[in-house]
Each structure stands twice: as C-alpha cells, then as structure tokens.
C-alpha cells in the first residue's frame, strides 16, 4: 500500500512538478513585492508583537538597571507638602530637585544616571540650573540627559574632536537662596553658584555631537530633513557627562519596536542617549557600525544592516525593572541628611544604572510598545541600556534567508495540496501554516533573537495554497468531464452523476482498494462461432444481444463494465465508485446475469440458435485500480492477484460443473445475503496457499428445498472425500446423482472419487490444483 501511494505521489510530481515550482516562485515574488511596497507592514507588526509577547515575555527583573519613576503619587505628595513645593515648585520642578536626587543616588551607590527627558529651557531662576550643575560636579556621579531635534533649531558648527575646546569668558550670574526653613536640612540651601558659561559654536557642537561612523561604506541614519539637535541649557552642558538623542523612533503605527544608535545631520554625528552613556562606561571614544555589527570599545552587538535593531523588551516596565518612586528617593535624601532610616531598601541602587523618567499620565510620556498600548516611554531607554549592558538585540533574518524560507513555505504548500488533494487538508492547511509560522517566529525570537518576516511567508504560503487549490479544481473539472465521458458507457449514468456529485472521483493515476471482480464467458464459444462462419453479421447480432443482456444485469447492480474480450465480460464492483456492499452487489449481479442468460437461451432455442451457456467467476480482493495503457490507448481497469483469481474461478466452473464460482473473500463479505455450496479447496497455479471456493446458488432465503437437499448431500460427500474415504463419498454421490442427475458438481465430484478408487493418489491433501 505504501509503495503504491509513493508511486502515485511520484506520478503527480512528474506530471505537475513544473507547475508546483511555478506556483511557489510566483507566490514568493508576489509576497516580496508586497513586502517591498509596504503592504504587509501592518500585518507584520501585529504578528511580530503577538509572537514577541507570547514567546519572550515574563523574563523577570533586570539585575543591571533600576528605574526612578515620576509617578502620580510622587507628584501629588510633593504638591501637598508646602516646604517641598516652595523649594521645588510644581511640575516641571526646579532643577534643584534633580540636584538632590543626584546627591541621593550617588550616596546610594548608583553607577550612572540616565535622565529620560530634555533640559533645554532656561528657568526663571537661573541659579537653580547653576546649582544643579554644581551638585553634579561635586558628586562626580555620571549623569546623562536627553536632547531632542527640531525643525526650528539652528544647524551646529562642525565638531572637531581633535582640536581643543575654546570657551568664552563666563558671564556673571546672581546667586539666590531659597527661603530659610529650619525644618529642612541645610543642604537645601544653595551655595553661591558660579557664572553661566557661554560656549563657542565649536564647543557647543563638541558637547552635543559624538564620533560615529560606518566602516562598510553605507551612510548613517539621517535625522529628519532640516532637523537639528536642541541643546540643553548652557549651565548644564559643562556639568552633565553627556547628552544623547531621545526622539521616540516609533514605527508607522506609533509603536516603539526599534532603535537606531547613531544619526547624522550631514555635518555632525549624534548618538542616542543610552549609547552616549554606555560609551563612557565602556571607555569608548567612538561608535562604529560595520555590516551587522555595533561596536563600542571592545564590546560588540549584533544589529541589522541599516544600523538599527529591535528591542527585546521581555515584558512591561513594571515586569522587567525594579521601580522606585521619585518621592521615595527625595525622602531618603532628607532622611539621610537627618540620620534617619531610609525608605528604599539598601542595595537597591548599588552599582546599578538608574533611569529617571515619567510614568504619570499627565506628563505626556505614554507610548505604545508590543507589550502595551499605554507604556511609559522610559521603558525604551531602560530596555536599550539593559541590552547594551548584558543582553542581545533582536535582528531581522537576512533577506536571502527570508526569501529562501518564503519560497520553501510556498513550495511545500503547493506540493502538499497538489499531491494529496484531500479536502480536510485543503481546509486545515492554511490555518496550520499560519499557526506554524507564528510558533516558528516566536521560537526564533526567543532562542536566537532573530525576527523572520512571518507576514511575507504566510502570504506566500496562503497564496500558493490558493493557487494549488485552483489548479486542483481545474484538474478536478477536467477529471470530472473525463470521468463522465469515460464511464457513462460502462456504468449506469445516474451512478456516474452520483459519483461526481458526491466527489467520490476515482484516482485515475491509480490506488489500492478492495473491489469485487466479475468474469464471465460463453462455454464453447469457438464451436458457437463456427455455426456462423458464413454469416458473421448474424454472429455479431447474437453476440451483441448476449452482451447487452449480461451487461444490463450488471449495470443495474451498480457495476462498472471493465471490458469485453470477445464473448467474455469483465466487470468491477466497488470501483470507480466506492461501494461498501460491492461483494453483495457482485453476487446479485452474477445471479441476475445468469437469469438473463437463461431467458436468452430459451429465446435462442426457439430461433434455432446455438446454446449460450455461461460460466461466471467472482472474487473480492485488494487490487490496484486506475488508468492503464499507453499514450495511444488506455482504460480504467484493475490489476492484481484478485483479478487473476476471479478469471481462474470462471474457468474452474468447467471442472466442477458449476455456473457461478466465488472466492473466499467474496463469501466472507456476502455470506449473510447469499446461499452457496462449498465446492472444494483449491490451489491456484503459482500459489502454495489453498483457498476455499463456493458455488453461488441464490440470494438468501431463495434456495428451493430440492437444491438445499442436494447441497447437504454434497457437503457430506465432500467431507468424506477430504478424509480420502472415496468409496463412502462415491456412495453418497451416486445416490444423489440418481435423484438429481442435472447437478453438475455432484457428477464431477463423483467422477473424481471413482478415478481415485481406480488409481489411488500417492499423496492426497484434499486440495485440488487449478491450472492455468
């Protein structure tokens, strides 16, 4: 069975292999064109987000990064405290507050601070800015702030990182002190602030730009046209350790999935805020991109060809990072100054990079990520920093890999559906394909941090599936038409249409299935035809009348006429249309054919024509059925040992004096519906195993009493015969032959018993040999 199935598959590949390849190639090209045209962007985003959340979420807390959140609770608590409000004002707070936060984080052992906001507006009280700058200098805590870009900002001068930085003379700035309040530590009071420095254009460019380059000949990512960086206030430029870009870098749907690491405005190069901080932490003097590699000092990360990478969030901000409220840090600064117990657990900030950012809705820093449509924007900076410290970015699979996988998916879809042609599979495959690609995408994201384009693969696979189904439908229509033309002469037309309507179309390229074969021919046809050698037309008319009578009886039982071989009729039951009761139908057809021939014999005798005594063989077995023949001529038929045995049984009737002989499998399938006589156990030529053969006598309950008595006596004699008690068997048969002299099997078995009595066999096993 497996071998025949494999042959069928090979046959379909041989006939339709080029079509399969063509469909796969066309589906791949269409999917790629849609990808290039942006038509799959939205679908790809949805698929990517779902896979990222399902397969990479829930990773646990970072051990490298802690976030200080400006949440609504902190805003409310500061606004409710008259002293805090007096010193720091309402949001946005004076920079004195950030000086206190920096002092506390330094005392708590923070490694560095990244402030996810810009400080590009001068406050009304400039001494607060200068005081903040002085506090940063005194603590020595690495502190980094963001800068945005704007279409109204001025273009910077070219930054020359080799030349010394020229500064102008500082301008005098008045020093102010907050109102005195003995209930707060002295540290709240600002010391005299230094003057505000005024940078030359060259120095300003040096402060904002950072060396970055590509060594592979490709350009760096460009800022938006005519957009230039907006510098922080001058007071901070000399105090913070560095500034970096904090633009949102959102995709077209507004969600933050990716980041670039370096940009250019055509004059200078700028890096993002996390990269600027990491460059100092790693001792890197420049950022280098080459191919799919990002380098900072001695460290490298895998990125995409365009110098970007997708963010491996691993969960929401709350799930991934230890979060401390701003108010708790501010309180700890007060408690530490007064020698009181701290609110934040010891070691929380020790050797950690601290990200400061807003989570309160009113701060307008709520962004979308794959994990949430309302996520604090600082999650992006925290994720990039955490990845640069100890993680891996998510990168796209190379285009060649994506195209290869796309073609593979399309080819598998086309080959599978065009080979199997099974309706449940045709329905289930597109769904299974999409689910399988989703799982594959997720597993690759999780295990190798590689993003394969699911939408392009799915489109190619589904497109190839649709094309394969259309091709199958076209082939099916052709096969349907072929079947209608091929079988309407050999089957009842209503059965042909029923077969087509129920989609029980035969596999014309062949299949193994159990069927029942019918063979019949006219006894002594050569002698019969001799009578009409002078009038061959009359012979043709007689033969056509005979074949029509036999064929009609078989067709009415749902048989398929296989072929005529002279006077012989070959008919199949159970193919091409599946029939669970094919054996019973064949038996009914054989009895009906015998009855039709008996009626025809009476008519022929009246007309003076020769007798048309017919012998029939019926056998059920698994055979290979399909179209057989050559390029010039082929027909639907069956081949196999089962067919050979049916033909042998038809011929064996002569040796047993029977009319209809059936094989053991036919008897097993139809025994509840028929009356039979067990004739003998026989061994077919070329076979060693003996089989039991039966004479089909009538349908169940239609056997007359006289014949039933004859059958019973025959079975008694057959039992004696098998025990080699030939004399006793002959006695039983002689008595029955005298009563029913017309019974052929009785006479034949009696003849054999007498022969063995005269010449005893040397070795007798009760099995007769059926010669060719």
Report the run of H or E that residue 275 belongs to, with start and end.
helix 273-281
Question: Quick one: pLDDT band at residue 492, thresholds 50, 70, 90?
Answer: low
Express each pLDDT in 458-475 by its tens digit.
999 999 999 998 887 777
Q: Exposed/middle/buried for 418, CB within 10 Å: 0-12, 13-18, 19+?
A: buried
What share of the chain in percent tops pLDDT 90? Answer: 67
Q: CA-to-CA distance for 299 and 322, rounded, in angstroms?
A: 26
Helix, strand, or coil (residue 681): strand
Q: CA-to-CA distance for 424 and 8, rounded, in angstroms?
A: 19
> Does residue 92 have a cis peptide bond before it, meaning omega lies within 30 degrees of 0?
yes
Q: Which of 132, 142, 166 is nearest to 235 (CA)?
A: 132
What's the pLDDT score for residue 45?
Answer: 95
CB atoms within 10 A of CB 602: 9
> Does residue 533 have a cis peptide bond before it, meaning omega lies within 30 degrees of 0?
no
Question: Quick one: pLDDT band at residue 122, thresholds 50, 70, 90?
Answer: confident
Stretch 476-489: mean pLDDT: 63
What's the pLDDT score for residue 169?
Answer: 39
Q: Looking at the domain that runs over 504-702, which CATH code has it been given?
A: 3.30.70.1230
For the cut 50, the answer to whether the pLDDT of residue 750 exceeds it is yes
Question: Quick one: pLDDT band at residue 476, thresholds 50, 70, 90?
Answer: low
Contact, 141 vs 110, CB < 8 A? yes
Cβ within 8 Å of residue 430, ≥6 positions away: 461, 462, 465
> String of b and e for 683-693 (b: at least 16 CB within 10 Å)?
bbeeeeebbeb
Stretch 328-351: mean pLDDT: 95
Express each pLDDT in 132-144 by its tens digit.
999 999 999 999 9
Cβ within 8 Å of residue 723, ≥6 positions away: 766
Joined together, the tokens standing for residue 484 give 């209608």
DSSP 157: P
**Residue with the two structure tokens 């019918």:** 518
For the cut 70, the answer to whether the pLDDT of residue 483 exceeds it is no
**What is the SS3 string spanning 57-104?**
CCCCCCCCEEEEEECHHHHHHHHHCHHHHHHHCCCCCCHHHHHHHHHH
Helix, strand, or coil (residue 356): strand
49 vs 565 pLDDT, higher one: 49
Q: Which of 267, 261, 270 is nearest to 242 (CA)?
A: 270
Beta-ladder partners of 517? 572, 619
Provide the residue ranges of all domains of the chain, joining segments of one domain with +.
2-39+408-480, 54-395, 504-702, 704-772
Using alpha carbons, list the distances in angstroms from residue 588 to 230, 554, 584, 595, 643: 97, 8, 6, 11, 19
Helices 273-281 and 378-390 sit at what angle, rounded to 10 degrees?
A: 30
CA dihedral in degrees (338, 342, 348, 350; nearest 10)? Answer: 30
Q: Which range among 11-20, 54-63, 298-307, 482-491 shows the weakest confidence by mean pLDDT?
A: 482-491
Q: Exposed/middle/buried for 743, CB within 10 Å: 0-12, 13-18, 19+?
A: buried
What's the pLDDT score for residue 302?
Answer: 97
396 vs 630 pLDDT, higher one: 396
Query: What's the sign of the alpha-carbon dihedral 59, 60, 63, 64?
Result: positive
What's the pLDDT score for residue 209?
Answer: 96
219 phi and psi angles, rounded to 5 deg? -80, 155
Contact, 157 vs 205, CB < 8 A? yes
Query: What's the sign of the alpha-carbon dihedral 356, 359, 362, 363?
Result: positive
What's the pLDDT score for residue 635?
Answer: 73
DSSP 191: P
Contact, 505 vs 479, CB < 8 A? yes
For the cut 70, the answer to whether the pLDDT of residue 563 exceeds it is yes
Stretch 546-574: mean pLDDT: 90
CB atoms within 10 A of CB 556: 14
Helix, strand, or coil (residue 293): strand
What's the pLDDT score for residue 527?
Answer: 67
For the cut 90, the answer to whether the pLDDT of residue 711 exceeds it is yes
Phi-psi group of 590: left, alpha or beta (phi > 0 → left; psi -120 to 50 → alpha; rest → beta): alpha
For the cut 60, the answer to whether the pLDDT of residue 212 exceeds it is yes
Stretch 34-63: mean pLDDT: 94
DSSP 27: H
Question: Quick one: pLDDT band at residue 421, thresholds 50, 70, 90?
Answer: confident
For the cut 80, the answer to whether the pLDDT of residue 78 exceeds it is yes
Helix, strand, or coil (residue 49): helix
Helix, strand, or coil (residue 341): coil
Q: CA-to-CA distance for 442 and 54, rounded, in angstroms?
A: 7
What's the pLDDT score for residue 175?
Answer: 43
For the cut 80, the answer to whether the pLDDT of residue 595 exceeds it is yes
**Residue with the two structure tokens 């039992």:** 719
Cβ within 8 Å of residue 509, ≥6 positions away: 8, 11, 12, 626, 627
DSSP 272: B
Query: What's the sign of the alpha-carbon dihedral 107, 112, 114, 115?
Result: positive
CB atoms within 10 A of CB 182: 6
For the chain, the maximum distance between any two Cα atoms, rounded to a whole number of angstroms, is: 147
Contact, 30 vs 460, CB < 8 A? yes
For the cut 50, the answer to whether the pLDDT of residue 1 exceeds it is no
- Backbone Cα Rg of the chain: 47
697 vs 185 pLDDT, higher one: 697
Q: CA-to-CA distance for 575 and 510, rounded, in angstroms?
A: 11
Contact, 517 vs 572, CB < 8 A? yes
């Amino acid at each position: 069975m497996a071998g025949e199935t494999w042959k069928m598959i090979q046959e379909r590949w041989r006939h339709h292999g080029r079509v399969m390849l063509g469909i796969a190639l066309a589906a791949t090209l269409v999917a790629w064109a849609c990808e290039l045209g942006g038509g799959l962007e939205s679908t790809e985003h949805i698929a990517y987000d779902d896979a990222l959340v399902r397969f990479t979420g829930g990773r646990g807390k970072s051990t490298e990064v802690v976030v200080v959140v400006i949440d609504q609770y902190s805003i409310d608590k500061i606004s409710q405290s008259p002293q805090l409000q007096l010193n720091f004002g309402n949001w946005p707070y004076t920079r004195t507050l950030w000086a206190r936060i920096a002092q506390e984080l330094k005392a708590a052992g923070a490694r560095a601070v990244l402030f996810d906001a810009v400080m590009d507006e001068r406050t009304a009280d400039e001494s607060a800015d200068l005081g903040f700058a002085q506090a940063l200098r005194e603590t020595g805590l690495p502190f980094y702030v963001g800068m945005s870009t704007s279409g109204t900002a001025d273009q910077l001068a070219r930054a020359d990182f080799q030349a010394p930085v020229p500064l102008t003379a500082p301008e005098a700035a008045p020093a102010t002190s907050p109102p005195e309040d003995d209930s707060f530590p002295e540290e709240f009071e600002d010391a005299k602030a230094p003057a505000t420095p005024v940078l030359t254009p060259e120095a300003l460019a040096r402060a904002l730009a950072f060396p970055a380059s590509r060594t592979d000949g490709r350009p760096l990512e460009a800022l938006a046209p005519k957009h230039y960086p907006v510098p922080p206030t001058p007071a901070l430029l000399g105090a913070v350790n560095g500034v970096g870009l904090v633009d949102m870098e959102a995709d077209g749907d507004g969600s933050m999935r990716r980041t670039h690491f370096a940009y250019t405005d055509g004059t200078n190069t700028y890096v993002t805020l996390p990269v600027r901080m990491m460059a100092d932490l790693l001792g890197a003097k420049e950022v280098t991109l080459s191919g799919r590699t990002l380098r900072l000092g001695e460290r490298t990360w895998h990125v995409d060809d365009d110098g970007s990478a997708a963010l491996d969030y691993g969960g929401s901000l709350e799930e991934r990072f230890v979060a401390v409220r701003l108010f708790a840090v501010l309180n700890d600064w007060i408690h530490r100054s007064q020698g009181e117990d701290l609110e934040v657990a010891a070691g929380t900030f020790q050797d950690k990079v601290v990200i400061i950012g807003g989570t309160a809705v009113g701060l307008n820093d709520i962004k979308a990520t794959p994990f949430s449509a309302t996520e604090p924007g600082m999650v992006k900076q925290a994720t990039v920093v955490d990845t640069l410290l100890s993680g891996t970015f998510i990168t796209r699979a190379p285009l060649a890999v994506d195209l290869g996988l796309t073609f593979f998916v399309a080819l598998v879809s086309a080959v599978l559906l065009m080979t199997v042609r099974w309706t449940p599979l045709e329905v289930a495959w597109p769904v299974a394909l999409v689910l399988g690609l989703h799982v594959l995408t997720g597993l690759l994201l999780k295990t190798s941090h590689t993003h394969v384009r699911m939408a392009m693969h799915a489109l190619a696979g589904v497109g190839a599936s649709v094309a394969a189904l259309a091709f199958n439908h076209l082939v099916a229509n052709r096969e349907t038409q072929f079947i209608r033309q091929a079988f309407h002469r050999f089957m009842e037309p209503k059965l042909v249409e029923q077969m087509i309507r129920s989609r029980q179309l035969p596999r014309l390229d062949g299949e193994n299935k159990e069927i029942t074969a019918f063979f019949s021919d006219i006894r002594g046809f050569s002698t019969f035809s001799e009578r009409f050698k002078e009038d061959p037309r009359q012979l043709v008319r007689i033969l056509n009348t005979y074949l029509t009578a036999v064929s009609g009886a078989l067709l009415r039982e749902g048989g398929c006429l296989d072929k005529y071989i002279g006077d012989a009729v070959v008919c199949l039951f159970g193919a091409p249309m599946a029939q669970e009761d094919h054996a019973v139908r064949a038996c009914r057809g054989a009895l009906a054919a015998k009855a039709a021939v008996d009626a025809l014999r009476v008519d022929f005798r009246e007309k003076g024509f020769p007798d048309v005594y017919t012998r029939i063989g019926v056998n059920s077995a698994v055979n290979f059925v399909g179209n057989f023949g050559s390029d010039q001529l082929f027909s639907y038929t069956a081949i196999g040992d089962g067919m050979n045995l049916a033909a042998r049984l038809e011929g064996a009737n002569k040796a047993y004096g029977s009319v209809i002989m059936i094989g053991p499998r036919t008897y097993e399938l139809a025994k509840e519906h028929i009356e039979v006589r067990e004739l003998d156990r026989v061994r077919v030529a070329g076979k060693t195993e003996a089989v039991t053969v039966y004479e089909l006598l009538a349908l169940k309950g239609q056997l007359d009493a006289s014949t039933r008595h004859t059958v019973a006596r025959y079975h008694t004699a057959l039992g004696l015969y098998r025990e080699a008690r030939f004399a006793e068997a002959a006695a039983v048969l002689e008595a029955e032959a005298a009563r029913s002299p017309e019974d052929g099997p009785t006479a034949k078995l009696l003849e054999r018993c007498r022969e063995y009595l005269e010449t005893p066999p040397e070795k007798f096993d009760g099995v007769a040999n059926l010669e060719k």
